[in-house]
Structure 1
Amino acid sequence: MASMPPVCDFGWKAIDATLIGVDGERHSVLGQAGPNGLVVAFICNHCPYVKAVIERIVRDAHDLKDFGVGFVAINSNDAEAYPADSYENMKIFARENGFPFPYLHDAEQTVAHAYGAACTPDFFGFNGAGELQYRGRLDASRKAEGAPDLRRDLFEAMRQVAETGQGPREQVASTGCSIKWRESV
């Protein structure tokens, strides 16, 4: 079932956490920031919305490096209820898609709760001061293949953030599968 996150809460401060990455190392979320910002993306391995856009997520993360914007992806889904989202499957998903960013496992779901993540994918774009400036979609494609000239909403917003420190005031929320919460959380 599709889920949509709330609109951007401009100025909300990024929260740090240290999580295990698919490389077996522990990574600080905020340690992935570039001098001009950071995108924190909540994704997973099995969501059809993520699978449909993963190549464009990788492309945009790579292209944002040129603007001094870092990128980190986090999987917070309950891997016991959704084995496709297990840590071992995260390693495969990252390798198969050539992730140029850390892919972190939020097994306790504390980071997703702290951020108020609602769906996969869910993008949080921060400026160089760690203030939220974008909480919107990757692009308008949703689960469909995007046209070659499709506007890159996340990329354009974060380029603006890198250049001005401010995100666009008009943003369209991301749409995706709901975060798969553990019952005990």
Structure 2
Amino acid sequence: MITLTQIPAKTSTKTLTKKISAAFMLLMLVAAAATAQIKPGAKLPGFSLPDVNGGTRALSSITGKKGIVIVFTSTVCPVTNAYNSRLIKLAAYAKQNGIEFMAINSNSTEDVAEIVAHSKSKGLNFSVLKDSDGKVAASFGASVTPEVYFADGDFTLLYQGRIDDNQREDKVSRKDLEVAMQEHLGGKAVSVKSEAARGVPIKRM
């Protein structure tokens, strides 16, 4: 004979709600940790990635420079492609002034052959590195393309975010990345250290 004490007590709605809320919060914290944005003043995360044109580039191997610009890009993102001509100009300006300039492609849907073909067809004048598993993008906190990170020669982040304030070049009123480089080269503190990047989400594995 089964007694009342042998019947499992039903989980109360209140208890169940608490458990669901706790699980949801844990998932949110894990997701936030995976995409935590590095802040101006912090050091860039180290990396070593293959250059799509051959060889490997490591952050630690970049020495004797006045700074470094890293742009997370894509071959198919319409926002990134709207900036191709501006990226070419910015890369030329950076190189003329002793600043390293490179791009990182972290989209799992874009292979090396596609990136090489895109670079050649657009006449890109900077290296593109392939972050196949998206771990470098995650370590930076990069979430969209294009998104830029400008650091000094010691890899201390000076500016993070958008390239400028308008996808249409003829409508731009503030050139955030260019201004940040000019201020740094002029011995001034970067006045605007971060502006939200707007673009297409990076497709990680």
State the 4+ residue runs in structure 1 displaced beyond 4 angstroms.
5-8
Q: 1:11–1:58: structure 2 CA closer, same or farther, 3 Å change rule?
A: same
The equivalent position to 1:120 in structure 2, one of 124, 145, 152, is 145
- Matching of residue 133 in structure 1 with residue 158 in structure 2: yes
Counterparts of 1:24-173 in structure 2, within 5 Å, are 24-32=54-62, 35-79=65-109, 85-142=110-167, 145-147=168-170, 150-164=173-187, 166-169=189-192, 171-173=194-196
Query: Number of residue pairs matched?
Result: 171
Greater gyration radius: 2
Q: How many angstroms does 1:136 deviate by? A: 2.4
Please state if 1:13 is matched with 2:39: no
Residues 101, 93 of structure 1: CA spacing in aligned structure 2 closer, same or farther, 3 A cutoff? same
Is the CA contact 1:41–1:72 (under 8 Å) kept in the aligned structure 2? yes
Q: Which has the higher helix share?
A: 2
Q: Residues 138 and 171 of structure 1: is their aligned pair in 2 closer, same or farther, counting only changes over 3 Å?
A: same
- Provide the secondary structure at the position in 1 that maps to 2:169: coil
| Deviation per residue, 1:45-96 (Å, 9 max, x gap) | 01010011111011101111122211110000112xxxxx221100011111
Once residues 34 and 72 of structure 1 are traced to their aligned partners in structure 2, the CA distance between those partners, rounded to angstroms, is 16
For 2:166 and 2:137, how far apart are their aligned partners in 1?
24
Identity %: 27
Q: Which moved more, 1:149-158 or 1:122-131?
A: 149-158
In angstroms, what is the RMSD of aligned CA positions? 2.3
Segments of 5+ residues of structure 2 without an aligned counterpart are 1-34
**TM-score between the two structures when normalised by the length of structure 2:** 0.75
Higher relative contact order (CA closer than 8 Å, sequence separation 6+)? 1
Note if contact 1:38-1:128 (Cα within 8 Å) is conserved in structure 2. Answer: yes
Give the letter for the 1:177 counterpart. Answer: V
Give the Å deviation of 1:6.
Answer: 8.6
Tell me the TM-score normalized by structure 1.
0.82
CA distance in 2, matches of 1:108, 1:43: 15
- Report deviation, 1:27: 1.4
CA distance in 2, matches of 1:33, 1:165: 21
Give the Cα–Cα distance (whole angstroms) in 1 for the partners of residues 87 and 117 of structure 2: 17
